Structure 1
């Protein structure tokens, strides 16, 4: 499998918790599809104090994973969305 493009996409989106609507991080998203995974190197501002845990309500919204040899957060279905 090919590695993700090193050049950051221009589109920057806010990723928010679906339970409490707290901002989790700003992410350089490529494409127009659903939010499935977030490569850690594309996160520009991280508002979480603990990885993959919402700072407000404490809900776990993702799992740390290696995707195509690069560290990423695999989003748990329905726990985080583009806001």
Structure 2
């Protein structure tokens, strides 16, 4: 099964967290459990992490390792043909 990808605002050296509506969504809707592995991203980097604590107010993650950056896809050129 593929890992869930979670986006957070800030990642410290070895930990990260989500609060507020994001934490509520992760804990109550997605139902993340303690010990569950996730891919964690701050928008620039990607990490492998696991859930240290999950409740509806705050979800805490512990960083296990930084994953290699995802390269962008191939360059695409769009051309339009005009008909009369």
The normalised TM-score by structure 1 is: 0.32
Q: Which has the higher helix share?
A: 2
TM-score, with structure 2 as normaliser: 0.32
Q: Looking at both structures, which has the greater relative contact order when contacts are Cα pairs under 8 Å and sequence separation is at least 6?
A: 1
Larger Rg over CA atoms: 2
